[in-house]
Structures are given as structure tokens and as C-alpha cells.
């Protein structure tokens, strides 16, 4: 029994998700970090195919019609979504597919691929710490920070929908927990595979 599995990570911008994934890399086996597709314009420093796949609104809407998205949403007039194709390819290759998506995206992935999905909500220890981190980064202006904080307050309410909470107080401890969760996530099996195994199990008597 071998196949890929999914690990959904959510949590506010400033929770330290990328830092933790980088720190854990090398301890969690082969994985594919899912890159979202968006119709918004690239920001300074963003690279197509690394940060996002940047596409036109027309192309995105064609893919919606063709059923090519695992999940998608419209935020402030822009589309964001996850294309099915690279995810399917990574799963078929037996990889762990890691998603960094929001609460709504998590619900959509669960609805479609619940049996092979594990999820973790990564958060700074308190709202106060989140605020300090966002201000310290000095990358966003006050209105963007205010919006991120409002989003975070909304998203934390969905904590109970996740399999695990990772409180990023110390990066070392958060990474240690992330490694355990990612390695367990990889051991999840699809119902189809389980049924196949049971059939074989009974036949090989």
C-alpha cells in the first residue's frame, strides 16, 4: 500500500509557516509544495512558478469551467486556486503534497480528498505576538497589516476544524511537531486503497 497524501497548513500571515517548512525539509521525505494559481498581478520580488502561477482572468475562468481546480476562491476581485493536475501527479508519484491555503480552501480540500488529508493550523502564541511580528517585518503598510490582523481573528475561530494546532512560540519546537505531523500524514491511506488491501488480504489465505 503506497500512494501520496495531503497535508494542509493554514494560519495567519506571520505565523512562520515558510520558516517551519524550510527547517523541516530533509526530515519529512519527498514532498511537493503546492503552488497556487492567481489572477492578481505579481508583487515586487514574486516569481511566476515559484510564488504563484500568474494567469489571466480568462484563462482562470476557462479552467474553472473545465473542472481543473481542486479548490478556488475569489478574494478582493482576484481569483486564487489550486490546479488539480500537479497535485494528482505528485500524489501518483507517492509524494506528500503540502498546501498553504486558508480556512475556506481547507474545507474544499477536505470535501474532495478527506481520506488522505491531514491538516494543521499554525499560529503565533497570541494575537499580540502576531501584531508585533507583522509590524517588525516592515514589508506591509498599516492598512495591509490591519487587514491581515482582521483575517487572522476570523481564521483562528476555525481552529477546531483542523487535526492539529502548531503554536509557533519556538521555531525549534514548532518544527519538531511539524515533522511528526508530516510523517504521520504520509501514512494516511485512501479508502480505495484500503478496500483493495482488504480484498487482497482475504484472498491470500
The closest alpha carbon to 106, from 33, 151, 161, 69, belongs to 161
Task: Tell me: does residue 132 bind a copy of itself (CB under 8 A).
Answer: no
Give yes or no for residue 154 binding a copy of itself (CB under 8 A). no
- Among the listed ranges 31-39, 52-60, 100-108, 155-163, the one in contact with a copy of itself (CB under 8 A) is 155-163
> Should residue 170 be labelled a site residue for a copy of itself when binding is judged by CB under 8 A?
no
C-alpha cell at 188: 494516511
Q: Residue 76's closest CA among 40, 50, 46?
A: 40
Of the residues 164, 170, 172, 175, which one makes contact with a copy of itself according to CB under 8 A = 164
Q: Judged by CB under 8 A, which of 22, 59, 170, 194 binds a copy of itself?
A: 194
Rg (CA), the chain: 18
**Residue whose C-alpha is closest to residue 89's, from 3, 21, 25:** 3
Shorter beta-carbon distance to a copy of itself: residue 37 or 117 = 117
When binding is defined by CB under 8 A, the residue of 125, 135, 144, 150 that contacts a copy of itself is 125
Burial (CB count <10 Å: 0-12, 13-18, 19+), residue 10: buried
For a copy of itself, the binding residue among 1, 75, 144, 146 (CB under 8 A) is: 1
- Does the protein bind a copy of itself through residue 30 (CB under 8 A)? no
Q: Is residue 195 within the footprint of a copy of itself (CB under 8 A)?
A: yes
Give the residue, chosen from 56, 128, 136, 172, that forms a contact with a copy of itself under the rule CB under 8 A. 128
Neighbours of 161 (CB within 10 A): 13
CB burial class (10 A; 0-12, 13-18, 19+) of residue 138? exposed
The answer to whether residues 54 and 48 touch, using CB atoms and an 8 Å cutoff, is yes
104 makes contact with a copy of itself (CB under 8 A): no
Residue numbers of the site for a copy of itself (CB under 8 A)?
1, 123, 125-129, 131, 153, 156-157, 159-160, 163-165, 167, 177, 180-181, 183-184, 187-189, 191, 194-195, 197-198, 200-205
Amino acid at each position: 500500500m503506497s500512494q501520496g497524501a495531503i497535508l494542509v497548513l493554514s494560519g495567519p500571515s506571520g505565523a512562520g509557516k515558510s520558516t517551519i517548512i524550510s527547517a523541516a525539509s530533509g526530515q519529512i521525505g519527498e514532498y511537493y509544495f503546492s503552488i497556487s494559481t492567481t489572477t492578481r498581478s505579481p508583487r515586487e520580488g514574486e516569481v511566476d512558478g515559484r510564488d504563484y502561477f500568474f494567469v489571466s482572468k480568462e484563462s482562470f475562468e476557462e479552467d474553472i469551467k473545465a473542472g481543473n481546480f481542486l479548490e478556488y476562491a475569489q478574494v478582493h476581485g482576484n481569483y486564487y486556486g489550486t490546479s488539480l493536475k500537479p497535485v494528482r501527479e505528485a500524489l501518483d508519484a507517492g509524494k506528500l503534497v503540502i498546501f498553504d491555503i486558508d480556512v475556506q480552501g481547507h474545507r474544499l480540500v477536505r470535501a474532495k480528498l478527506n481520506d488522505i488529508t491531514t491538516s494543521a493550523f499554525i499560529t503565533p502564541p497570541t494575537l499580540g505576538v502576531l501584531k508585533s511580528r507583522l509590524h517588525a517585518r516592515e514589508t506591509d503598510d498599516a492598512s495591509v497589516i490591519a487587514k491581515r490582523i482582521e483575517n487572522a481573528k476570523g481564521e483562528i475561530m476555525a481552529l477546531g476544524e483542523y487535526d492539529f494546532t502548531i503554536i509557533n512560540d519556538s521555531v525549534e519546537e514548532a518544527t519538531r511537531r511539524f515533522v511528526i505531523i508530516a510523517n504521520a500524514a504520509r501514512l494516511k491511506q485512501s479508502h480505495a486503497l484500503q478496500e483493495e488491501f482488504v480484498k487482497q488480504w482475504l484472498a491470500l489465505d
